[in-house]
Amino acid sequence: MAYHTEIVDLTTLPPAHGILSPREEAYYQTLRFPKRRTEWLGGRVALKRVVARERCISDWTQIEILPHENGKPQLFVQQKPLTLAHSITHSHGFAVAAVGSEGTLLGIDLEKIDHRIDAWKRDFFHPDELTEESDAFLTALWTQKEALVKLLGTGLSLRSKEVCCINGTPRFSGRALELYNQLGCPSLTVTTKQWPTGYMFSVAFSAR
Ligand SMILES: CC(C)(COP(=O)(O)OP(=O)(O)OC[C@H]1O[C@@H](n2cnc3c(N)ncnc32)[C@H](O)[C@@H]1OP(=O)(O)O)[C@@H](O)C(=O)NCCC(=O)NCCS
pLDDT digits (tens, 9 = 90+) for 174-205: 999 999 999 999 999 999 999 999 999 999 99
Task: List the domain boundaries for the chain.
Answer: 1-99, 104-208
Ligand 1 nearest atom to the CA of residue 155, by list position: 23
Q: Is ligand 1 within 6 A of the CB of residue 10?
A: no
The answer regarding whether domain 1-99 maps to CATH 3.90.470.20 reads yes
Strands 163-166 and 106-112: unpaired
Say whether 104-208 and 1-99 share the same fold.
Answer: yes
Tell me how crowded residue 149 is: count the other CB atoms within 10 A of its CB.
22
pLDDT in tens, 126-179: 999 999 999 999 999 999 999 999 999 986 678 899 999 999 999 999 999 999
Beta carbon of 39 within 6 Å of any ligand 1 atom: yes
Q: What is the pLDDT of residue 177?
A: 96
Residue 68 CA, distance from chain mean position: 14
Count how many residues are written for the chain.
Answer: 208
Residue 60 · residue 66 · CB < 8 Å: no
Report the pLDDT averaged over residues 19-36. Answer: 97
Domain topology for 104-208: Ribosomal Protein L22; Chain A (3.90.470)
User: Ligand 1: distance of its center to the CA of 62 in Å?
Assistant: 25
| pLDDT for residue 2 is more than 90 | no
Q: Under a CB-based contact definition with an 8 Å cutoff, are residues 191 and 203 in contact?
A: yes
The answer to whether the CB of 190 is under 6 A from ligand 1 is: no
Strands annotated E in 68-197: 73-77, 80-81, 84-91, 94-102, 106-112, 163-166, 169-172, 188-194
CB atoms within 10 A of CB 144: 27
123: part of which helix (H) or strand (E)? helix 118-124
Q: 53 C-alpha vs ligand 1 centroid, how far in Å?
A: 25
Give per-residue pLDDT as tens, 83-114: 999 999 999 999 999 999 999 999 999 999 99
For residue 109, the ligand 1 atom closest to its alpha carbon is: 12
pLDDT at 69: 76
Residue 156: the pLDDT is: 63
Q: Helix (H, G, I), strand (E, B), or coil: what is residue 179?
A: helix
pLDDT for position 155: 66
